[in-house]
Amino acid sequence: MFKIFGRHYGAQRFFIMLFLCLAVLISMGIYGGHVQHQKNLKRVSDTALYTTTFTWSRTGDPGEVVGMITDTNHTKAFLLLKNPSTSSVDAMKYECFLTGRDAPITNNPSLTTYVFGSTGYVGFYFVDARGFASQIYDLIIRDDSSASEMANDGTGTGGSNGSFNAHNQIELFLNFAAKGTTVADVMNTSNPQPLAILADLPIKFGGQDGTVTGLFESYKKTAQTDLDLMSTDLRSIYQYQTTLHDLGVVVPDLPYYIAGDMIDTHPNDFTKEPMRFDEAMAESSEQSSGSHYLDYGDGSATPESPDATATPEGGYTTGDMAGATYMDGDTELPYYYLHTMYLNPGCVSFNWQGQLMSNGLISQVYKEYPTGTPLNRMYMDYSEWKATSEAQYSYAMPTQITYDSWRKSDGSFVDMSTGSANDTSTVQGLILAYEKALNDYLLKRVDYFKQLDGMLQLENKVQALGETISSNNGVNWQNLWIIK
């Protein structure tokens, strides 16, 4: 058997080596193909959208896929497109053809088409209770409106078949069950409403600077920053009060409307804390800052900041409770909450920490309205109330405080002609630093409520689309054709 190693068997050795090399190459090819196949399968299972832009075949108008969100179980999917202004605003004019790109599909979903007025946004809501298979779907969307069908007659291009010449169509490739889909809480509800879905997608209106979701997150971020800075200001205010008292300075009362304020990481309890300004909050305006002074009796008492572990008379939430958290870079941080019994005129407060716009912010403030009341009706009433409250009661809660004079417990007055807020080594400097911290807090407090107002305005913009929304749920016309 070892003759092949002899001097006369060179040809045999050559062919044996050739065979072994070919076997190795074939094995490597099979293995490489298997690896590539596995990579392709992973790519299919991970990738949700393969098409992000499109061009209508007959009009030549471009558009974009804004996004797609699903529920956790991948039984529901909402696809949002941004169409050009030439596209139909009638949901009944859209037909959809769904196939599998590489294999027949086993799903038979229902479809509801939503056209959000003249904004250009068109949503396609797919539902299959059995769950979507992880595969690449080929979705052809046709605009059957007469203007669309007559455009550039016979000159259409693109698409995978000749129907793109005969009809105005686009073709999208997507995977409803991909791991890379965006799972949205609103889709996990039993019957998600189109405007609630739209609120959580990156939509943009007209000349608006930024998307709705981006602006909403910006409002939340600014509100959180305001509360963070306000918390620092409050600590400074109480520290300066204590130091000034120890130096024999009589410190004026805090403005009545912030005297009980507390900022911590405990969620608000709106069964005890107000959600809207009311006239009674302005009845204490006679106690406005500067007219009263903190009474320390014989001088042994010192001002104290609210204790987050105690139960203040004001009734704001205390105790050991967990609030919402958010990600700041790679770090998870708790949200801050403002606890107050006095809201600025025209202002409202609600739980926004960790919330989505689809959770309903306007409805939090106006719970007394009958079920089914349009949110834009609530917002209209809010706007009118806000303007009236600000006009009639803003005087009762000034946002900048000025003290005419300061005195000591021995009756002498402090000469305020010298000193700097940046130099707290002197009594005058401490007084000026205290005033600055107080006024900074008041201004940030106003800005905080301004961010909440911005959130409500943004939700109203989305809800206003309800007046122009067009839908087709297949009752009058089956608008989903499954081609097998």
Tens digits of per-residue pLDDT, 396-436?
999 999 898 999 999 999 998 888 888 888 999 999 999 99
| Residues 32-68: tens digit of each pLDDT | 554 444 444 444 457 888 889 999 988 889 999 998 9
Q: What is the pLDDT of residue 200?
A: 80
The model's confidence at residue 125, banded by pLDDT at 50, 70 and 90, is very high
CB atoms within 10 A of CB 479: 21
Look up tokens 């107002």; give the residue. Answer: 453
Map residue 63 onto helix, strand or coil.
strand
Residue 315: its pLDDT value, please? 34
Phi, psi dihedral angles at 65 (to 5 degrees): -90, 110
Q: In the structure, what pLDDT confidence band is assigned to residue 156 with cuts at 50, 70 and 90? A: low
CB atoms within 10 A of CB 197: 21
Tell me which DSSP letter residue 119 carries: G
Minimum mean pLDDT range among 211-215, 344-348, 428-432: 211-215
Helices (H), 47-128: none
**pLDDT (mean) for 177-204:** 87
**Is 14 a residue whose pLDDT tops 60?**
yes
- The reported pLDDT for the residue numbered 206 is 62
Lowest mean pLDDT of 60-69, 79-88, 293-302, name the range.
293-302
* Mean pLDDT within 68-92: 91
Q: What's the longest Cα–Cα distance across the chain? A: 125
Are the C-beta atoms of residues 227 and 326 closer than 8 Å to each other?
A: no
Q: Which residue has the tokens 């109480």?
A: 238
pLDDT at 102: 82
Task: Kindly report the number of other CB atoms within 10 A of residue 225's CB atom.
Answer: 15
Query: Which residues, in sequence order, are bridge partners of residue 453?
Result: none
Q: How far apart are CA 442 and CA 440, in angstroms?
A: 5
pTM (predicted TM-score): 0.74
Tell me which range, 91-100, 107-116, 451-460, is most confidently predicted by mean pLDDT.
451-460
